[in-house]
Amino acid sequence: MRAGIGYDVHKLATGRKLILGGVEIPFAKGLSGHSDADVLTHAIMDALLGAAALRDIGNQFSPEDSKYKDISSLLLLGEVNKLLEAKGFVVGNIDATIVAQQPKLSPFIEDMRRLISRTLGIDLEQVMVKATTTDGLGFVGRGEGMAAHAVALLEEK
- pLDDT value, residue 150: 98
- pLDDT value, residue 17: 97
Distance from C-alpha of 88 to C-alpha of 155, rounded to nearest angstrom: 8
- pLDDT value, residue 28: 97
When divided into structural domains, the chain yields a total of 1
pLDDT digits (tens, 9 = 90+) for 7-21: 999 999 999 999 999
Phi then psi for residue 98, to 5 deg, are: -95, 135
Contact yes or no for 155/85 (Cβ under 8 A): no
- pLDDT value, residue 70: 92
Q: Note down the domain range covering 42.
A: 2-156
Three-state secondary structure call for residue 65: coil
- pLDDT value, residue 138: 98
Quickly state the pLDDT bin for 98 (edges 50, 70, 90). Answer: very high
- pLDDT value, residue 58: 93
Phi then psi for residue 13, to 5 deg, are: -145, 150
pLDDT digits (tens, 9 = 90+) for 121-152: 999 999 999 999 999 999 999 999 999 999 99
CATH number for position 101: 3.30.1330.50
pLDDT digits (tens, 9 = 90+) for 47-56: 999 999 999 9
pLDDT digits (tens, 9 = 90+) for 65-93: 999 999 999 999 999 999 999 999 999 99
Three-state secondary structure call for residue 92: strand
Distance from C-alpha of 156 to C-alpha of 111, rounded to nearest angstrom: 28
Residues 6+ apart with CB under 8 A from 103: 18, 25, 26, 27
Q: What does the mean pLDDT of the chain come to?
A: 97
